[in-house]
Amino acid sequence: MMLKRIIWHDLRWRFLAAAILVGMTAGVIVLGLRLPPRADYVHHLDLAWFNLPGASAVLLPAALIIGSPGTLVRPSRDVAYVMTLPVSRERWVISHIAASFAALALLVIACDILFVVAGWTLDSVLRVGSLTVRSLLLLAAAGAWIPLMVALTALVRRPVIAVPLAFVLLSFTRGNRFRLDIPAEPHAAMLASLDPWAFADPRAWNGSIPVASIATATGMALTGILVALFLIRRRDM
Amino acid sequence: MSDAIVVERLVKRFPALIPGRAARIAVDGLDLRVQEGRVTGLLGPNGSGKTTTINVLLGLTKPTSGRATVFGRDVWRESLGIRSRVAYVPAERTVFDWMQVGKFIGGVTSLSKRWDSEYADRLIRRWEIDKRASMGQLSTGARTRVLLVAALARRPDILLLDEPTTGLDPAATDDALSELIGFAADGTTIVLVTHHIEVVDRICDRVTIMSSGHALLTSDLEDMRSSWAVIDVTGPSRPEEMHQWEEVTSATRRDEYTRLIVHANPAAVVDRLRLLGAEIASVHPLTLREVYLGVTPRAADDDLA
């Protein structure tokens, strides 16, 4: 209870910023949809949101913002007090990562609800199963960046430095992660098979499982967790 | 009686934030032993390393070198096990300003295996703590009471208390100290960091005086009361020579006399002085305050309350 409260107290403004970013984008996407009656709604959402480029443009920044917890790295009286209670540093780090992931999940669920409501008003065919699977993949792809972001924040010790630094580092990677077309246009290009976001694209699942991308994302998340634990275990509170 | 806390040659050095500046040494070769079930006072001027020592014991700060154990467990590597048996009242009262008192206490409850709800409720009623108030709205004294409830109701084996009477009025101080005396009677080990010498005098049975990160003096208070004395000597005397005597802590020449602070066997020192032809102007036992001021020459009166 204590951990949840202190983590939420730290997270709330970052969550709000991410929610505004994601909510506005998702809102603009559904407002821009012009569908023929009885159209396959999920297919249109694939073009606008789930295929790349698409949701990575907002969900990746959201994950980076949410996954930069100040309380984890900034010495504070509140944290020092909590750490005099029987709370391990491992639990402290994992709780931050879990809370960030939960916050991101809330945003993805909110987007799904928005898409469902929009689909209903557009009189389109909504396949809830497909929508759910696609959203879970998106959540996993964005969530994999959270531990890495927590580790980066633990390394540089300031969220205000960690977030811009993460954007700069990401801009050097291949794949146009921050591009979002409104209205959506079909793109043939896909990410490299090793890219940690590639498995979130529904097209990557045509005929085979994108193992390389899943392995990269999993490795990235585990590395982030281990580095964050290593840094926080050694640090004075 | 076994040692609950053992600190040996403990050093804590904080690296300089600005390149070229010297590192700050907060604890410098501290040796300290706290026996189980005893109440030990840690006294010392500001910056003498008392709070850093407590932070090391709680596993908040990693020792630079040396060894510190609580119940035989290493304070850094086995901190979690230690913290389930130790409760702490921080010197800094402004914690969780944004949280309601009831939620703060509920949070501590959720992380404490031995939380005594009945006792906590009793203290909350007796100390008139408003659980609906925000921590930030409380006076210093009220915050002290909340933090004391959060520590005492955990029923710890060790209480680490950093200035536990700050902001309390005399009646509330008496009440809080009587609770602590009750815990000590039940066998709880208590380490009390304070500038309030009368608090140490009232509830501690052992005292360690620290300065510049190390212990200047550790003694049972009873022994201190019987063995420490101030002897004023008139007539010819050589303070430099007296200072070398084993029993003498300090020898200072004043205008008309020489003042000796003696930490053992004052009667033998008096006999020796008489043999040397000195006239004894006065001999009187030292209070804890006088001992403190005697062994910490740089201590200012405003360090003491």
Q: What is the pLDDT of residue B302?
A: 41
pLDDT over 70, % of chain B: 96
Q: How far is CA A155 from CA A152, A234, B178, in A?
A: 5, 12, 47
Among A5, A81, A88, select the one facing B95 at the smallest CB separation: A81
Is residue B93 very low, low, confident or very high in pLDDT (cuts 50, 70, 90)? confident
What number does CATH give the domain B3-222?
A: 3.40.50.300
User: Which residue in A has a C-alpha nearest to residue B104's C-alpha?
Assistant: A2
Q: What are the residue boundaries of the structural domains of chain B, listed by start?
A: 3-222, 229-285
Amino acid identity of A124?
A: S
Q: What is the pLDDT of residue A164?
A: 92
Domain housing A116? 2-233
Single pTM value for the model: 0.86
Mean pLDDT (whole number) for B262-287: 88
Between residues B277 and B182, which one has the greater pLDDT? B182
Q: What is the pLDDT of residue B297?
A: 60
Q: How far is CA A150 from CA A147, A231, B60, B216, B226, in A?
A: 5, 10, 20, 44, 58
Is residue B17 very low, low, confident or very high in pLDDT (cuts 50, 70, 90)? confident
Contact A85 B90 (CB under 8 A): no
Mean pLDDT (whole number) for A114-141: 88
Mean pLDDT (whole number) for B175-199: 94
Mean pLDDT (whole number) for B280-305: 72
Residues 66-85 of A with CB under 8 A from B: 77-78, 80-81, 83-85
Mean pLDDT (whole number) for A97-103: 96
Is residue B304 very low, low, confident or very high in pLDDT (cuts 50, 70, 90)? very low
Is residue B8 very low, low, confident or very high in pLDDT (cuts 50, 70, 90)? very high
Mean pLDDT (whole number) for B223-236: 85
Task: Summarize pLDDT for A154-176 with one digit per residue, the tens.
Answer: 999 888 999 999 988 888 876 66
Q: Give the C-alpha separation, A197 to A201, whole Å.
A: 8
Q: What is the ipTM of this complex?
A: 0.86
User: Which residue in B has a C-alpha nearest to residue A82's C-alpha?
Assistant: B108
pLDDT over threshold 90, residue B154? yes
Between residues B304 and B191, which one has the greater pLDDT? B191
Contact B110 A1 (CB under 8 A): yes
DSSP string, chain A: -HHHHHHHHHHHHHHHHHHHHHHHHHHHHHHH----TT-BHHHHHIIIIISSSSTHHHHHHHHHHHT--HHHHS--HHHHHHTTSS--HHHHHHHHHHHHHHHHHHHHHHHHHHHHHHHHHTT-B--HHHHHHHHHHHHHHHHTHHHHHHHHHHHHS-HHHHHHHHHHHHHTSSS-TT---SS---------TT-TTGGGSGGGGSSS--HHHHHHHHHHHHHHHHHHHHHHHTS--
Q: Is A13 on the interface with B (CB under 8 A)?
A: no
Is residue A190 very low, low, confident or very high in pLDDT (cuts 50, 70, 90)? confident
Q: What is the pLDDT of residue B99?
A: 94
Contact, B265 vs B247, CB < 8 A? yes
Contact, B187 vs B85, CB < 8 A? no
Residues in chain A closer than 8 A to B103 (CB atoms)? 1, 5
Mean pLDDT (whole number) for B167-196: 93
Domain B229-285 sits in CATH 1.20.120: no
Q: Give the C-alpha separation, A21 to A175, whole Å.
A: 21
Overall number of domains in chain A: 1
**B61 to chain A, minimum CA–CA distance in Å?**
5
